Amino acid sequence: GIELIDSYVFNQAEYIRFNSTVGRYVGYTEHGLKNAEAWNSDAGILGQEQAELERFCKHNTDIYYSAILDKT
């Protein structure tokens, strides 16, 4: 399957990440944990990430697979 990882970095340190496999945000710092809790309870924010997965990943995967199959 396809997995989207959307990382948010501040001062070169990842503080929060959206992982499409689990379908939620995971925080890595105190600030990230607070944001993850808030963002995970916001259906609109989660919906934006799911839409990004559909729009970008699935579209490009179809293109890549077609290119690979054309070469075989």
Q: What is the pLDDT of residues 6-56, one digit of tens each?
A: 888 988 889 999 988 888 999 999 999 999 999 999 999 888 888 887 777
Sign of the dihedral defined by the CA atoms of residues 3, 46, 17, 33, in that order: negative
Predicted local distance difference test score (pLDDT) of residue 44: 92
Confidence of residue 65 (pLDDT cuts 50, 70, 90): low
Predicted local distance difference test score (pLDDT) of residue 60: 67
Domains of the chain listed by start with CATH number = 5-69 (3.10.320.10)
Q: Is the pLDDT of residue 57 over 70?
A: no
pTM, full prediction: 0.62
Distances (CA, A) of 9 to 12, 16, 33, 43: 6, 7, 13, 22
